[in-house]
Structures are given as structure tokens and as C-alpha cells.
Amino acid sequence: MKSEILQPSTDSLKALSRIAQTVSCIQEIEPLLKKVLEIAIQMLTAERGFVLLKSGINEKGFVVKSSSNLTEAQITSLTGVSTSVAAQVMASGESIIVSDADIDPKYRKNDSIVLQKIQSIACVALNVNSQNIGIIYLDSLTRNSKFTEEILPFLTAFSNQAAIAIENLRLVQSLREENNCLRIEIQRGQELGEIIGQSAQMQKVFDVIKQVADSDISVLVEGDSGTGKELVARALHTNSQRKDKPFMALVCGSLPDSLLESELFGHKRGAFTGAVTDKKGLLEAADGGTFFLDEIGVLSAQIQTKLLRVLQEGEIKRIGESRVRKVDVRIVSATNKKLTDLIESGDFDEDLYNRLNTISVTLPPLCDRVSDVPLLAHHFLDKYAKKKQQKITGFSETAIDAMLTYNWPGNVRELKNTIERAVILAREELITPTDLRLPEINKSTASLETETATTLREIQENAVKKALKKHDGNIPEAARTLEVSRRWLQYKVKEWGL
Ligand SMILES: Nc1ncnc2c1ncn2[C@@H]1O[C@H](COP(=O)(O)OP(=O)(O)OP(=O)(O)O)[C@@H](O)[C@H]1O
Ligand SMILES: [Mg+2]
């Protein structure tokens, strides 16, 4: 009976074009091998098959990567003996076609061929640059699909194409892994605890934290909402000798004044209606540790005075008590309001400000440190992809561009939320701009025009930013527009970390 195998001229071309298409859209090795095997089986009207790839992890040097209609035991018997067809192709890198295995004197006594009643075998080597990286094995148990030597040129072309695709994907994968490792390495040198940042501005912040963490001086952390003020407060605590003592945080605006006072300083039983027992305040509870006062700008005058006493004398008085208690707490405070403005309007005590602000750390808005955006984005991607067990390996180039040009009014918090959502929405291995769902805002104009510059320095900085943008960062040209000297501009660009 005549076999129904392919007509080399048309069908083989179709198969070759299919494999070319497959190669361009599959990004993972396993699905690629599955597809390669599927196409090969279909084209030869084979019944069973498998793909082995060379691997350094077992002594045989080849591992099964994909199979169809074959059990593990059957594959072992087809590859285990050195006289088997598969073993010979693995050893020589030369393809073998056996048309009538049951009568072929070379193979008819072969155990697996007899036991599995194999009629025809086609086994091709996957060769790249004269190196054998694996094999594709196909067989048929019926006489209907007899493989002949005629199919060899087609099979060789097919397997060469598949081999290149496999090798390319392996290369991409190893580059991806290397890239991940390098990124983690880089990140290690660019973080302080949980705080990530490689920009010059963040490096300055890290330097200050490292310098002052171990002292008891009060630190005022300034920055817009979502810039990481709380993270800095925690880092100051965890990098100090107080790290094993409590870290207590209170958002000053979260409670009405009367409650806030008793929360902070504690009260004596009967001091006011509802004070049924003596209560220790949070400042006392934080003894030996760090106290983080968030949104300090909203404190009332009364509480400001009491707080000043804590800072000046290290003492507190519970409400309704005359006894003075010593407390040893380090105060870190944060604000997204300009305290100097509040002092001017009489809403904030200057002495308290000076005490809180022994040293200040200012966190710049994210749009002023764009070089941190990709690093933070990858950090959050690793975190959320791991949490959701999703295989997302990175961002498309256009997604990175979109993140770099967006102005991030909600700062790092907004970036974090954006990535968390994108991980849920992503359908591919790489996050796309569609997954990010960023609002359409033009970064540079938005950040410059919505800014309400009040000080001379802010006005100057804005003018410099605009001029630099207009001239694509060209300092001599920007200096000419601003009518300042080139040296002055260079000095300012460095000073402001632009
Ligand atoms: N540099 C950073 N590296 C890693 N994560 C960051 C960084 N900055 C901020 N985050 C994350 O962004 C979120 C917002 O940070 P955080 O709460 O510290 O901001 P904040 O300045 O206190 O904001 P708000 O003024 O609104 O209270 C947090 O989930 C934090 O973990
Ligand atoms: Mg906060």
C-alpha cells in the first residue's frame, strides 16, 4: 500500500512557513517544542513523537521536553539502549529514517521496536552551528504512514529552523535571567531597607538617613503625599540602636484634639468623663523606641506646647496628673505642608519647629527623579507578580516610555498601585501601556504649570527646568535663553539634581 505522507513540494513548504510563523509568536521554550512536535506529527501523519533537548543536568545529557502519545516508560525504552534509533541520532547528530522497522535487519530485533510494534521511524537531529542540541523522534505503528528517505530534506530544513528558534529562545531566557540577577544586584546597592532609589536625590536621602539614624536627634521628613515619608521614618528606626524597642506612629489629623491628647500623653482615672482607668499614653508606650508623628502640620497650639516639653525636657504629664514622667523617645515627624508657611501664619510654633527639625530629609516628587521610575516599577512588579504567581517578566519598551513620561502626581504610591493593577490586567509576559492605564497627562508641562512656585528658588528652578526642556537639556542654549552664565546654570543643575 502506498503511504500517505506529504508531497514535499507544497506541503513541506506550508510546514516550513508554519514553523516560521510559530517561531515568531511563541516566547517560551515548552510551548514552542509542543508546537514543533505537533506540526511534525501532522506533516508526516505520524502517531507518536517526542523532543529531547541536550541538558547539562543528567548524565545522559538529554532530557524529554515534549511528547505526544507516549508514556515515560515507552520513551525510556526508545532512548535507553545505545542501539536504539534515538540514541544513535543523539550520539551522531545524523538523522535516521527507518521505513520498515519490523523487517529491517538492523532494527527488527530491537526490543522496543518489537514490543511497541513500530513500523516506521523518523528521527532528526536539531543542529545549530554544527552542534547537536537535541532530537525530534517520530514513529508510526501502522503501515499507512510509512516514512521514506524522500522526506529527509524536508525534515532537515524543518528541524534546522526549529533548532534555531529553540536556541534563540534559550538565549533570550538566559539573558532575561541574567538581567534579573543584575537588577537585583544593582538594587541591593540602591536600597535602604524597603526604600528603593538610584537617583542622586535619593542617594542623598540615604546618606542623611545613614548619618543620623543612630543618633537621637529629631528628624523632620518633608515631601508630597506618596513620596515615602513613612518608609523613611521606619528606616530611621530600624537603622538605629532603638530597633528592638517599639516604633509607634500616630497620624496627628486622625483624632479630635481631646482624644489625641489622651492618646499621646495618657490620662489619670477620672480625669474626664469616660476616663474609667489610668491609661498610659503612646509616648510612654514607645519608651526607648521611636515615635513617628505623621501630618504634624495639623496639631493644635495646645498639643504643640505639650510636645515641645517632651522634646525639650524628655518629660510628659498624663492628663489629670501633676506627676511628671520621664520618657526616652526619639521623635521623627512628617509633613506634606510647608511648616515655614504655617509659622508665618501663626499656626505652628517656631520653637517646636526648630526642635523637630534638628535635621530634615526632603523627599522629592517622583517626577523630579525619573531615573527611579524603572527601578521602582520592576521592584513592585517582582513583588506583585510573585504574590499573584503570575509569570510576568517585565515591561514592554513602550510601557517603560509611558511610565517615564507620565508625571505621577500621586508619586510612588500611585506607581505602586498602577503596577499592582497592571499585573492583574496583563495577558502577556510583558506589561504593555494598555495594562498600565495611565491618565493622559503631559508630564513636563503638567508638572511645571500646576506647580505654584512661591520662593525665589522655586521660581528659578522652574525657569531652569523649562529652559532645559525647551533646549533638550542643552546647557549653553538654555543659559542663553535665561540670560545667565553657563557656569551658573551648570552649578544650579548640579545643586538641584536636575
Ligand atoms: N522609595 C521607595 N521605595 C519603595 N517603596 C516606596 C518608596 N517610596 C514610597 N514607597 C511606597 O509607596 C507607598 C507610599 O509611601 P509612604 O506611605 O511612605 O508615603 P508618604 O510620603 O507617607 O505619603 P502620605 O503623605 O500620603 O502619607 C508605600 O506603600 C511605600 O511602601
Ligand atoms: Mg504617610
Nearest Cα neighbor of 45 from 123, 118, 131, 120 is 120
Mean pLDDT of 82-99: 90
Q: Which residues contact 244 (CB under 8 A, 6 or more apart)?
A: none
**Do 331 and 291 meet the contact criterion of CB atoms below 8 Å apart?**
yes
Which ligand gives the minimal distance to the CA of 221?
Answer: 1
The residue nearest atom 10 of ligand 1, judged by CA position, is 228
194 lines ligand 1 (CB under 6 A): yes
The class (CATH top level) of 452-495 is mainly alpha
Q: Which cell goes with 117?
A: 510494534
Fold of 192-363: Rossmann fold (3.40.50)
Parse the chain into domains and list their residue ranges.
8-176, 192-363, 366-442, 452-495
Q: Is the pLDDT of residue 223 over 90?
A: yes
Q: Is the pLDDT of residue 58 over 80?
A: no
* pLDDT confidence of residue 330: 96
Q: Can you tell me which atom of ligand 1 is nearest the CA of 229?
A: 21
Each residue of 12-23: pLDDT tens digit?
777 788 778 877
Question: How many A from CA of 274 to the centre of ligand 2?
Answer: 30
Euclidean distance between CA atoms 250 and 184, whole angstroms: 34
| Sequence-ordered strand ranges (E) for 95-206 | 96-98, 120-128, 131-140, 191-192, 195-196
Helix (H) or strand (E) holding 205: helix 200-212
Ligand 1 mutation pick, 227, 335, 367, 373, max ligand atoms within 8 A of CB: 227
Which of 64-68, 131-135, 405-409, 457-461 is predicted least confidently? 457-461
pTM: 0.59
134 lines ligand 1 (CB under 6 A): no
* pLDDT confidence of residue 70: 92
The residue nearest atom 18 of ligand 1, judged by CA position, is 228
Fold of 366-442: Helicase, Ruva Protein; domain 3 (1.10.8)
The residue nearest atom 28 of ligand 1, judged by CA position, is 413
**What percent of the chain lies above the pLDDT cut of 70?**
92
Q: Specify the CATH number for 8-176; select among 3.40.1360.10, 3.40.50.2300, 3.30.450.40, 2.60.120.620.
A: 3.30.450.40
68 lines ligand 1 (CB under 6 A): no
